[in-house]
Structure 1
């Protein structure tokens, strides 16, 4: 299966991670600037509460905004996750003030959420930027079980 054939809603996470791993950056860029962008992002974010690690959340209460760039019009799509009382929920829209806002390019985001790129390396290389509670940034990767490709 190749990136153009990907329907993220029908693929198990591990299989989707393998497709991303086998795909070139150009193929991933085409996916994330094409007609399937919204479906891919929506599916990734819909699945996030299911891979949330409540046992690692402790007393964390935060509103997390993910700004995924490289939209064809030059903009970014923003998704809001609310972490409270050891749960994670996806908001229908970003309407709260974020505790932390993470900005990242679409290809790097896709690689990161499929276990094909390290969030720490992306942050250190300036490919992911944080605004707000910077200390919480270090906790975010440990709050989710990322598939291993």
Structure 2
């Protein structure tokens, strides 16, 4: 992998990047560069890739018989928000790339850079919550266990 300063994020095929490499990329980017990436044309492709892989990183044994709908609101510049929903049920995790009429047990809202840090193992949910970079509504206990339900890279 090229040095992060030389990495062309605008043309990088995030679909070909393994989760551990993605975690290293996120860790190595400055806050300004990460924000610029997520305010640019790659934003939706990066989010779609992350959410599209969630089912492959899901740990059914950790979730047990949990049945929960989680709504993710990824905020952006000038109100350009993206909403995804993950449904954990019957040992599986399915993703919807839009808001549905279903009522979530948990809603999470955060800026795109913080979301990428969270899902790549570069930030903790409690830290983001206590620094007001993550807003929660609903089942706080579910929020506390959410990262245990997925195989998140260790960086």
Tell me if 1:115 matches 2:115.
no
Q: Tell me the TM-score normalized by structure 2.
A: 0.89
The 1:29–1:92 alpha-carbon spacing in structure 2 relative to 1, beyond 3 Å, is: closer
Secondary structure (helix, strand or coil) at the match of 1:9 reads helix
Q: Tell me the TM-score normalized by structure 1.
A: 0.93
Tell me if 1:65 matches 2:71.
yes
Structure 1 runs not aligned, ≥5 long: none
Tell me if 1:50 matches 2:56.
yes
For the aligned residue pairs, the C-alpha RMSD in angstroms reads: 1.3
Which portions of structure 1, spanning 4 or more consecutive aligned residues, are displaced by more than 6 angstroms? Answer: none
Output the CA distance in 2 between the equivalents of 1:145 and 1:91.
20
- Given that 1:61 and 1:83 are in contact with CA atoms closer than 8 Å, whether structure 2 keeps it comes out as yes
Secondary structure (helix, strand or coil) at the match of 1:116 reads coil
Structure 2 runs not aligned, ≥5 long: none
- Given that 2:10 and 2:41 are in contact with CA atoms closer than 8 Å, whether structure 1 keeps it comes out as no
1:94 to partner: Cα distance? 2.2
- Given that 1:4 and 1:31 are in contact with CA atoms closer than 8 Å, whether structure 2 keeps it comes out as yes
